[in-house]
Structure 1
Amino acid sequence: MAITKISLDAHIPEILLESNTTGGIYGEDGTESSRMRMNASEGVIEARNNNGVAQVSAAGIFCNNAGTQAVAASTGISRKAAIVGLGYGSVYKYDWENENFIAGVYGYSSNSGTAPAYGGFFQDLLISGLILKSRSISDSSGTVYLSKPDSFILGLTNSGVTKTLYLPNDGIIGRTILAKQIGQGAIRFYPRSGQYIHDDSSQNDYYDIPEGWLGIFIFTRFALNGVVRDVWTVSMCKFR
């Protein structure tokens, strides 16, 4: 029997299960004994063995043991993680800009304080396929105010048409936007009030991306002539 002991303590109050195994069919700590407890005084559900601990509470989920296999043994490789999200499901597509999707892990955050908020943080991020949230700009588009979901701007304006876009104003250092103009027109980027655009030491009032060019906007903060300013740095490159 896997479960060797069940204890109910009404004084703590706590339910304790002790097992001679860990992790079920996907765990790699199978030979490790484990303790699982549901503690009402702490408001936590916890599983622990000699390799680490995982906790679930209203405050969030914590795990410090990368002991769960993330891929099938038939692949011949091993990928173990503390948290594994396999997003199997059924969702019908939205034809424009991938508004409908399935994800293994979905992250969103908002901070009522002054620090930046990230949907996810990774010390070293291994990307196996990079997909940017895109937004198309055409002749019929009005003035566009970009926000944090916008990562890639596709300019489709025709000859003689220049559309105006305002860069995001959330002030998160490192925010990056790519903008590619395919049409024969142009897309014009302005900073928000109190921000600047620089491609070198000189300030630009706005920045145009003409046909065939890719603009790379990265938000940062630095001191220029002793004055700290919020700046969108921009670089441009072409297909050749």
Structure 2
Amino acid sequence: MTEELYLKDSYIREFDAKVKEIKSDYAILDKTAFYPGGGGLENDIGYFINSKGEKINVTEVKRDENNEILHKVESNSSLNVGDIIKGVIDWPRRYKMMRLHTASHIIAAIAYNKFGSLITGGHINPEYAKDDFNVDNKDTLIDIINEANEIVKKAIEVKVYFLPREEALMIPAIVKLAGRNPPNIPIWRIVEIPGIDIQADGGPHVRNTSEIGEIVLLKVENKGKGRKRVYYTVKP
């Protein structure tokens, strides 16, 4: 399987890798820093530079049915099995989503710890995030965003580490998405904001809450009885 570099270091912007396989317009590498999307977080985009110095745009990254990571490239790209390429992430896009992703963990933690509320759905793109919570009151979400901003200012280090599944399952609320089953894999990646939140998570995050900046509430929508959707972003 492709080595997933972002699992240990979300700040890798460029990397060298070997092309293992070509499937139609998709390339499979021996290692990658491109996040394939998942958990509501959009995939990375960027480009490759081949041995001839040619730039090859990567327009989509996803997993296939075998959990391999596929990088979609232009159909006329000069790319062959065995080639050594340099992969380059669209960093401004990725970093904005990292900031929003860590912000979403803080918001989810406050919702759970203070109101017993779980996320019932969500999505993060480079422009904004949206999360659905099983809460009745719009003001509850406004208060949560305000409290999240106070936590951001505390400049708390975000820790990433790995635990055996049995040990991770002993942590209360390790999965905070309603209806989501715990990952059926032997080793879990844990993202912890000490004193605030701890979750099983496979996506890129910032190293410190201070990098999030200010969380800006965009709007709250009523999505039915006991369900509200909150839209938010982070200041540039």
**TM-score class normalised by the smaller sequence:** under 0.3
Which is greater in Rg? Answer: 1
- Greater share of residues in strand: 1
Relative contact order, higher structure (CA 8 A, sep 6+): 2
